[in-house]
Chains A and B, each alone.
Chain A
Amino acid sequence: MTDIKIKITDRDGVLHEIDAPTDMNMNLMEVVRSYELAPEGTIGICGGMAMCASCQCYVVSDHELPEMGDDEEAMLSEAFNVKDNSRLGCQLHITEDMDGLEVELAPEEV
């Protein structure tokens, strides 16, 4: 299996059901960028190093995801619009276990 289905609700509330590859070493932030679900320059600003919260998303489905690392936890502790189900898309590497994952992009920090 190389592709999984992910449901992503963009910042305008539009739901996108997309195919995400599991064999390209991509993370969720990169998937969002590759499908252009958020304007360029508004997501993945730090390049995926958990050093900004531009790719923050809310995990809506009950998938068991990898635990947060220290960097992700620290960044989310300083980010805005954080909820209990917040994660950084750049820290979620696409794996087969994520098939059917549903996420919502957190509002852009202005």
Chain B
Amino acid sequence: MIKTDILIIGAGPTGLFAVFEAGLLKLKCHLIDALPQAGGQCSEIYPKKPIYDIPGFPEVLAGELVDNLMEQIKPFQPGFTLGERAETIKKLDDGSFLVTTNKGTEHNAPIVAIAGGLGSFEPRKPLLENISKFEDNGVAYMIKDPEVYRNKKVVIAGGGDSALDWSIFLANIASQVTLVHRRNEFRGALDSVEKVQELKNQGKINLITPAEIISLNGDDTLESVLVRKISNANEEILLEVDDFIPLFGLSPKLGPIGDWGLEIEKNAIKVNTFDYQTNIPGIFAIGDVNTYPGKLKLILCGFHEATLMCQSAFQIIFPDKKYVMKYTTVGGVSGFDGSTKEAPKAVVKAIE
């Protein structure tokens, strides 16, 4: 079991900055995120988009902001459980919380801070009538083990980087790879598009554009998909397949957190503005995931909320200790790794 002082659910900018503020108070943090990397929306949705309203940064790419936050919290050695979704929470007899992920990883902490942004990111599922029937029986929304597709006939749908990258990767594993996309143009890295073109020319990828999958067929397992060419003729092609992998990106959902007994309003967790604690003492919600009168979903507001949350968390963990907020310019930063950053001492010399 992973034990920590503050268990942060969500490794976006707000969750990452909470590690820094907690670290100043000598509190250890561990973060859980459903995505395989830290950074939340900034890394997953818009890493190359510039952000203009981070104080002190006239312009910073979302991905760079995440990189900087990771650098800033490095001395505080946070732990990460990535690629797993916080599923259940249980209050233990000692007052601490046990949070278990969908993969069964257990975490224990006296404080839980939900910094889940818009929620956990789930694959966007195409609107095909019987798609749920074939889930895990020929339909998968993400590729966990490419070997599963060795010598299989695979159809991938989508026009982004994931669809391109996996088509390229599986071209050397599957017996047949078909990529179906609604347009002739792809939204992906240029070299990926060129590679797909090259593999198409070599006959290793069957490219069908502009087209869409309109039905899935089979009894217990997927046997074929019907593809419709988007053209005047609306030509239809029946493809025998073993696997269909729709890669249409991710969509955020509040997910299991919505069932934790927290007060929810408009898809967000209600908190007080004193310390961003929820209706369950010891559980806080910071950043885009919370709501209160006047709430603004801005990264800088999440930073502020994380700071105040940590002060209260400290008092809950150490009710008998007095702590006075210190400026880093005065107290410096002492990492758990033994590193220290502090302002250079002024040298006073007598003038004779």
Contacts and interface: CB of A to CB of B under 8 A. Distances in A.
A77 B188 CA distance: 13
A46 B267 contact: no
Given A45-B252, A46-B45, A49-B49, A80 B187 contact: no
A9 B181 CA distance: 30
Contacts of B159: 74, 77-78
A45 B187 CA distance: 19
Interface in B186-205: 187
Given A40-B268, A109-B251, A77 B183 contact: yes
A49 B254 CA distance: 21
A78 B118 contact: no
Helix, strand, loop or mixed for chain B's interface?
A: loop
A39 B265 CA distance: 10
A81 B49 contact: no
Contacts of A66: none
A78 B127 contact: no
Contact of B181 (A39, A40, A45, A77): A77
Given A41-B268, A45-B118, A51-B45, A78 B251 contact: no
B267 A42 contact: yes
A41 B118 contact: yes
Interface string B129-151: 00000000000000000000000
Interface string A46-84: 100101100000000000000000000110011011000
Helix, strand, loop or mixed for chain A's interface?
A: loop
Contacts of B127: 80-81
B126 A80 contact: yes
B230 to A, nearest CB: 10
Interface string A15-44: 000000000000000000000000111100
B91 interface: no
A8 to B, nearest CB: 19
Band of interface residues on A: 10 to 19
B304 interface: no
Nearest to A71: B187
B285 to A, nearest CB: 14
Given A39-B267, A45-B252, A109-B251, A51 B183 contact: no
Interface in A72-110: 73-74, 77-78, 80-81, 109
Contacts of A45: 118, 251-252
A78 B182 contact: yes
A40 B269 CA distance: 12
A74 B268 contact: no
B126 A74 contact: no
Interface in B154-204: 158-160, 181-183, 185, 187
Contact of B267 (A41, A77, A81): A41
B46 A77 contact: no
Contacts of A109: 124, 251
Nearest to B118: A45
A49 B46 contact: yes
Contacts of B45: 46, 49, 51-52
Interface string B240-278: 000000001101101000000000001110000000000
B79 to A, nearest CB: 29
Given A40-B268, A42-B267, A52-B251, A74 B124 contact: no
A78 B158 CA distance: 6
Contacts of A40: 266-268, 291
A101 B255 CA distance: 36
Contacts of A49: 45-46, 49
A73 B266 contact: no
Interface of A: 39-42, 45-46, 49, 51-52, 73-74, 77-78, 80-81, 109
5 contacts: A41-B254, A49-B46, A51-B45, A73-B183, A78-B187
